[in-house]
Copies of this chain bind each other. A is one copy, B any other.
Amino acid sequence: VTTGQRRRAPRGTLSAEVIVAAAIAVIDTDGLDALTTGRLADDLGVRPMALYTYFRDKDAIVRAAGLALLDRFAMPEDRESDVEMLREIIRAYFQLLVDHPALLKLDALIEDINPAEARISEAIYGCLERLGLDHRSAVGFKATLLRLAMGSALVYPSRQAWDDNPAHWDRIRRQMAALDPDTHATMHELSQDYPAFSQREVFEFGLDTLLRAVGD
C-alpha cells in the first residue's frame, strides 16, 4: 500500500488511516522491528513529526495497526456441523497469526476487549453451547483452542524455516544425532527417522485432538 511514494507528499494527504496502512505494510514486509518513525515517515513522503498530528506516540500507531490487522479476520462460511465450523474458525485464527506474526508481540491487543476478538469468541461459544457444553466448559475450551493456535503460531516462523531450508534442517538433525543415545534415546532415534510433519500438520494434529474431546 502507498508504495513508490518518494519525496514530499502534498499537504493533506496524511490521515490516521493512511498512516496505519503504511505501518501494516512495513510490519508485513520487514517486521515489527523495522517499524520506526523515520522509516514510516519516509514511506509516506513526510517528516517523522507529521505522524504526531494523528497519533499521540508510536505505540498508538502500533496498536491501531494491530487492531486493523485483527479486524481482517474473516468468519468462515457455515459448515455441516458445529465441530467442523469450530475447526474452520480456529484454522482461520491460526492463519491470521501466521500471516501477521507481529500480532503475537503486541501485548496491547490482549489488554482489552476488541471487536474482532469479540466476534471470534462469540462464534466459538455458539458452537460449543450447541454441542452441549456447559458455561464453564465452554469458557475453558474456547480459551484452550485459542491458546493452542497462539502457541502454534508463535513457533511457526522459525520452525517452518527448518522445513523450508534443507541445510538448516540438516544442521538441526545433526544436533539431535549428537545427543547422548543413552540419556536421549528417542531424540537420537528421531534424528534418523523424523516423521514428516509440517508446522501446519502439527497444528492440525493438536486441533483434531482437542475437537475429538467435544465429540461428533
* Shortest distance from the beta carbon of A193 to any chain B beta carbon, whole Å: 7
A55 within 8 A of partner (CB): no
> Chain A 112-125, CB within 8 Å of chain B: the 1/0 string?
11000010011001
A176 within 8 A of partner (CB): yes
Q: Is the CB of A141 within 8 A of B209?
A: yes
Among A138, A158, A193, A209: residue with most chain B CB under 10 A: A209
Which range contains the number of A residues in contact with the other chain? 35 or more
Cα-based distance from A118 to B172 in the complex (angstroms): 12
Do A155 and B148 contact each other (CB < 8 Å), given the known contacts A172-B112, A187-B121, A209-B210?
no
Q: Is the CB of A176 within 8 A of B113?
A: yes
Residues in B neighbouring A176, C-beta threshold 8 A: 113, 118
Q: Is the CB of A122 within 8 A of B183?
A: yes
Cα-based distance from A183 to B125 in the complex (angstroms): 12
A interface list, Cβ under 8 A from B = 104-105, 107, 110-113, 118, 121-122, 125-126, 129, 135-136, 138-141, 143-144, 146-152, 154-155, 157-159, 161, 172, 175-176, 179, 183-187, 190, 193-195, 197, 201-203, 205-206, 209-210, 212-213
